[in-house]
Amino acid sequence: MSFEQFSFDRRIAAAIKTVGYTTPTPIQQQAIPPVLAGHDVLGLAQTGTGKTAAFLLPILQRLTKGPLHRVRALIIAPTRELAEQIHQMSADLGQNVRVRGVTVYGGVSKARQVAALRRGAEIVVACPGRLLDLLGDGAIDLSHVEVLVLDEADRMCDMGFLPDIRRILRVLPPRRQTLFFAATMPRDIRRLADQILNDPVTVQIGVMAPVETVSHALYPIPHRLKKQLLLATLQQTATGRVLIFTRTKYRARNLARDLTKRGYRASALQGNMSQNQRERAIRGFRDGRYDVLVATDIASRGIDVTAITHVINFDVPDTVDAYIHRIGRTGRAHQTGVAYTFATEENESMVHEIEQVLGARIERRRLPGFNYGDFVPEKQFQSTREQARQRPPLRPAAPRSRRSSGRKRYGHTPARKAA
Ligand code: AMP
């Protein structure tokens, strides 16, 4: 299967070649035809599946015809990093067509964004807060929007953006195409999708489970030994780019500092850093100036670095969704990746929940040669192990809707409509 089947404008087809895509990913195969045909689409797909190009390519195709100098496509994303990533991809894929994009997000000069809008743009990639700000100032006209994309809608909801999104929706033309992407569908997101999508085609990829090319391992460890375990792991493992997650900004900063002191080329990526510092960290990681990035969940959104070989959960995340998002950072675009999780006794119930959603038990490991002192890793999570024994044997990851996950958040039945 190739991109030719979509009959994109030859300038867009040429750009696809230039960026090096040869085969459409599954979400692209499923989503591009209905988006090109003008349907609303509900895309259940996480980062790493190729979903950005799945909506950008048909949007660019649409914009090759019709008026210029007015905002015709609005893409809303939860973080500036993700907005920048989408914008960059739209510039890459739209390099041969006369379409201009502008990013709109907080933490940077408003005047520049306003000036760029004044010069005329057809695609706006925005975070909700600054977009509302510009709407309030009368600096942006959304009355000509033909396509609205809500990307990572579940994450926007987690971050409290739902009221902002509803306010933005009120100023958009009711007759438009709406594309709605989320990795998970908690109840309020399902309700929003139901309200704003008109007879949507549902495409479901990676079926709301982790990317299958990622292998998972769990390292039981007490708090006091976590840092030593990390250092020993980094020393023993042939890693490429390593993304480490901590629970707090403070822990990310300190851990990155400790690693740097020990000679690792490491940087933190956390919310207390300025936009410039964050961009520098991501760029450094992408360019190979850093081998290790220590991030918090929110700051890591939008990292588009394909060659991450290892994700290490230095701290277990608070939710299963966060786990899935984190490990979606490795194993991207058909590469293989490894996700290590350092788990303490207190994490037992979250580990159990993660395993329920994965539909499999995560392998417990002991790091060979590591001095655990009087701690016996094999003794931790024994009750989880008992529960795992009582579950059916391992099976391939299946859609959550088919699993008997006890979590209420996933108690809905996702719409299943063939694309
Ligand atoms: P996304 O899920 O949109 O964040 O994309 C994940 C990564 O896959 C990005 O680095 C894209 O550049 C890359 N990608 C998207 N589509 C393709 C494709 N058809 N072939 C190879 N890589 C792709």
Comparing 306 with 402, the larger pLDDT belongs to 306
Backbone angles phi and psi of 28, in degrees to 5: -65, -40
Amino acid at 403: R
- Greater confidence, 178 or 308? 178
Least confident of 26-40, 103-117, 250-264, 371-385: 371-385
In a domain, 173, yes or no: yes
Residue 392: pLDDT over 90: no
Predicted local distance difference test score (pLDDT) of residue 339: 87
pLDDT of residue 393: 40
Q: Residue of the nearest CA to atom 14 in ligand 1?
A: 50
Token digits of residue 56: 């950008």
What's the CATH code of the domain at 314? 3.40.50.300
**Distance between Cα 374 and ligand 1 center (Å):** 46
Task: Please check whether residues 54 and 178 belong to one and the same domain.
Answer: yes
Tell me: do 176 and 235 sit in the same domain: no
Residue of 362 and 400 predicted with greater confidence: 362
Q: Output the CA angle 146-152-155, nearest 5 degrees.
A: 135
For residue 384, is it within any domain? no
pLDDT of residue 386 exceeding 60, the answer is no
15-19, 201-205, 323-327, 390-394: which is most confident: 15-19
Whether residues 194 and 284 fall in one domain: no
Q: Is the pLDDT of residue 209 over 90?
A: no
Residues 63, 107 within the same domain: yes
**Pocket mutation for ligand 1, best pick of 6, 21, 211 (most atoms within 8 Å of C-beta):** 21
In a domain, 405, yes or no: no
Quick: pLDDT tens for 321-334: 788 878 876 655 44
Taking the CA of residue 78 as centre, how many other CA atoms within 13 Å lie in the half-sphere pointing to its CB? Answer: 23
Q: What is the CA radius of gyration of the chain?
A: 22
Q: Tell which residue, 182, 192, 195, has the closest CA to residue 44.
A: 182
Question: Which residue CA neighbors atom 18 of ligand 1 most closely?
Answer: 21
Amino acid letter, residue 222:
P
Q: Does residue 23 fall inside a structural domain?
A: yes
Q: Which atom of ligand 1 is nearest to the CA of 45?
A: 2
pLDDT at 46 over 50: yes
Of 182-191, 330-339, 348-357, 391-400, the range with the lowest mean pLDDT is 391-400
130 and 230 assigned to the same domain: no
Q: Does one domain contain both 176 and 241?
A: no
Write a three-state SS string for the chain: CCHHHHCCCHHHHHHHHHHCCCCCCHHHHHHHHHHHCCCCEEEECCCCCCHHHHHHHHHHHHHCCCCCCCCCEEEECCCHHHHHHHHHHHHHHCCCCCCCEEEECCCCCHHHHHHHHHHCCCEEEECHHHHHHHHHCCCCCCCCCCEEEECCHHHHHHCCCHHHHHHHHHHCCCCCEEEEEECCCCHHHHHHHHHHCCCCEEEECHHHCCCCCEEEEEEECCHHHHHHHHHHHHHHCCCCEEEEECCCHHHHHHHHHHHHHCCCCEEEECCCCCHHHHHHHHHHHHHCCCCEEEECHHHHCCCCCCCEEEEEECCCCCCHHHHHHHHCCCCHHHCCEEEEEEECHHHHHHHHHHHHHHCCCCEECCCCCCCCCCCCHHHCCHHHHHHHHHCCCCCCCCCHHHCCCCCHHHCCCCCCCCC
Atom 20 in ligand 1: residue holding the nearest Cα: 21
C-alpha distances out from residue 84 to 104, 138, 243, 320, 360, Å: 9, 23, 20, 26, 35
Closest atom of ligand 1 to 304 CA is 10
Q: CB under 6 Å to ligand 1: residues?
A: 21, 23-25, 28, 47-53, 304, 306, 332-333
Query: Mean pLDDT: which of 132-136, 213-217, 275-279, 376-380 is highest?
Result: 132-136
pLDDT of residue 391: 45
What mean pLDDT is reported for the chain? Answer: 84
Pick the last residue of a domain from 374, 389, 408: 374
Query: Which ligand 1 atom is the nearest neighbour of the CA of 48?
Result: 2
306 C-alpha to center of ligand 1: Å? 8
Instruction: Go through the chain and tell me how many residues it has.
Output: 419
Question: Is 419 a member of any domain?
Answer: no
| 387 within a domain of the structure (yes/no) | no
pLDDT of the residue at 275: 84
Q: Are residues 266 and 307 in the same domain?
A: yes
Protein residue closest via CA to atom 12 of ligand 1: 50
Given ligand 1 and candidates 4, 52, 93, 203, which is best to mutate, with the most ligand atoms within 8 Å of its CB?
52
User: Hey, what are 271's tokens?
Assistant: 């919310």
What is the domain count for the chain?
2
Asked whether residue 51 is domain-assigned, the answer is: yes
Query: Higher model confidence: residue 231 or residue 286?
Result: 231
Whether 163 and 220 map to the same domain: the answer is: no
Q: Point out the domain boundary residue: 159, 177, 205.
A: 205
Closest residue by CA, ligand 1 atom 1: 50
Is residue 42 scored above 70 in pLDDT? yes
Pair (47, 195) in one structural domain: yes
Same domain, 123 and 240: no
Q: Cα(284) to centroid of ligand 1, in Å?
A: 20
Check whether residue 167 and residue 257 sit in a common domain: no
The answer to whether residue 159 scores a pLDDT higher than 90 is no
Name the closest-CA residue to atom 21, ligand 1. Answer: 21
Other residues' Cβ atoms within 10 Å of the Cβ of residue 176: 18
Does 80 map to a domain?
Answer: yes
Residue 382's pLDDT is 66
Same domain, yes or no: 163 and 139: yes
Contact present, 325 and 46 (Cβ < 8 Å): yes
Domain extent at residue 230 = 214-374
The confidence score (pLDDT) of residue 59 equals 98
Domain endpoint, select from 185, 205, 225? 205
CA of 16 to the centre of ligand 1 (A): 11
How many Cβ atoms sit within 10 Å of the Cβ of residue 264? Answer: 17
**Residue bearing tokens 């396509």:** 147
Give the pLDDT mean for 108-123.
Answer: 95
Q: Confirm if 200 and 416 have CB atoms less than 8 A apart.
A: no
Q: For the residues 243-248, what does the mean pLDDT come to? A: 94
- The pLDDT of 171-190, averaged and rounded, is 88
